[in-house]
Structure formats: structure tokens, C-alpha cells
């Protein structure tokens, strides 16, 4: 499966997957993670959450591009930087939901991963500037266009 396949899967999970927690809680968890971040990028967010370390490994066994265990977030470094960002944030979202004592269905995991990539404050700023498009959001947040489009969709009722 290519990055496009993962994108299609993420879209399906967001729209038709299992969601256990309200959207406001997702946004709140992402905002708190941004306040607590310890350094730049997805790894800074992970460090701020005291999540297991991110380990990039091109030799990660075939069949998965990312894997969270109790000891590490393993990432296969392939594709665009934006794709790698989303892989890390996906695994970090699993970890944050589980640490909060919540189940981590993929609907919630992808929602939190996207919120971590682009916090609501960024979307509000772009909207105020009349620039809330997937292209602009992707450029500002360093996320893939597909992820930016999904993020705008999931926050449409909040902005």
C-alpha cells in the first residue's frame, strides 16, 4: 500500500470508523500536547508527552510503515517528510489515548494525529486571513495535502 492507500484508509476511518471520544476532547488533547512540546516537530511533541522514543528504521519488517510498542515508536523513513510526520503522529496518538485510559480506535487515532499536526489555533488564524485551504495548511504545518484536507473537513463545524 502506498501513501495514497494510507490516506484513503485515514479518510475512511475518520468518516466511518469507530469514534469513542468527542471532537472537543481531541482538540483539547492536541492543544495540551502543543503546550507541553519539548522541541520541534513530531518528535518534540512526543518528547513533551514522555512517549517512547522515535526510532527510524528502514529495516522495519515489511507490512507496516510504523509500529508503537511499549518501548519505541518505530518508523520506516520513506516517502515525503509530511508522510513520516503523519506516521509518527499516528503512533503518538495511539500512545496518548492509551495513556489517558481510553481505547484507541483508528477513528479517534487519526483525528488526534491530524489535530496534533495542525492545532485549531493555526486553522483559526488561516481562516481569519482568508487562507484556509489544504495547500496553505499543508505548507504551514508541514503535513501532506491529503492530511490537510482531512483536517479542514473534520473541523468544519468548529471554525
- Work out whether 109 is an interface residue with another protein (CB under 8 A): yes
Grid coordinates standing for 102? Answer: 481510553
CA distances from 116 to 18, 44, 83 (A): 19, 11, 14
Grid coordinates standing for 87? Answer: 506516521
Instruction: Give how many residues touch another protein by CB under 8 A.
Output: 36
Q: Mask 54-93, x = binds another protein (CB under 8 A)?
A: -x-x--xxxxxxxxxxxxx-x------------x--xx--
Please select the residue that binds another protein; options are 4, 12, 139, 159, rule is CB under 8 A. Answer: 12
Please count the other Cβ atoms lying within 10 Å of the Cβ belonging to residue 91: 25
**What is the Cα–Cα distance from 71 to 78, expressed in whole angstroms?**
22
- Work out whether 130 is an interface residue with another protein (CB under 8 A): no
Q: How near is the Cβ of 64 to another protein at its closest, in Å?
A: 4
**CB under 8 A: which stretch of 10-18, 40-48, 128-136, 138-146 binds another protein?**
10-18
- Work out whether 17 is an interface residue with another protein (CB under 8 A): yes
Ordered DSSP codes for 8-37: HHHHHHHHHS---S-HHHHHHHHHHHHHT-
**What is the Cα–Cα distance from 11 to 133, expressed in whole angstroms?**
17
Which chain residues interact with another protein by CB under 8 A? 1-2, 5-6, 9, 12-13, 16-18, 55, 57, 60-72, 74, 87, 90-91, 94, 103-107, 109
Amino acid at each position: 500500500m502506498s501513501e495514497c492507500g494510507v490516506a484513503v484508509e485515514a479518510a475512511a476511518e475518520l468518516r466511518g470508523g469507530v469514534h469513542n471520544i468527542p471532537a472537543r476532547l481531541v482538540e483539547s488533547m492536541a492543544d495540551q500536547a502543543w503546550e507541553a512540546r519539548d522541541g520541534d516537530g513530531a518528535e518534540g511533541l512526543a518528547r513533551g508527552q514522555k512517549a517512547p522514543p522515535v526510532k527510524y528504521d528502514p529495516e522495519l519488517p515489511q507490512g507496516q510503515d510504523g509500529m508503537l510498542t511499549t518501548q519505541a515508536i518505530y518508523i520506516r523513513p520513506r516517502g515525503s517528510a509530511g508522510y513520516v510526520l503523519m506516521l509518527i503522529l499516528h503512533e503518538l496518538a495511539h500512545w496518548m489515548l492509551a495513556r489517558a485510559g481510553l481505547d484507541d480506535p483508528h477513528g479517534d487515532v487519526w483525528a488526534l494525529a491530524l489535530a496534533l499536526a495542525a492545532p485549531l489555533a493555526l486553522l483559526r488564524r488561516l481562516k481569519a486571513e482568508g487562507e484556509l485551504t489544504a495547500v496553505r495548511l499543508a505548507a504551514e504545518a508541514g503535513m501532506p495535502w491529503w492530511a490537510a484536507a482531512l483536517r479542514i473537513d473534520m473541523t468544519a463545524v468548529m471554525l
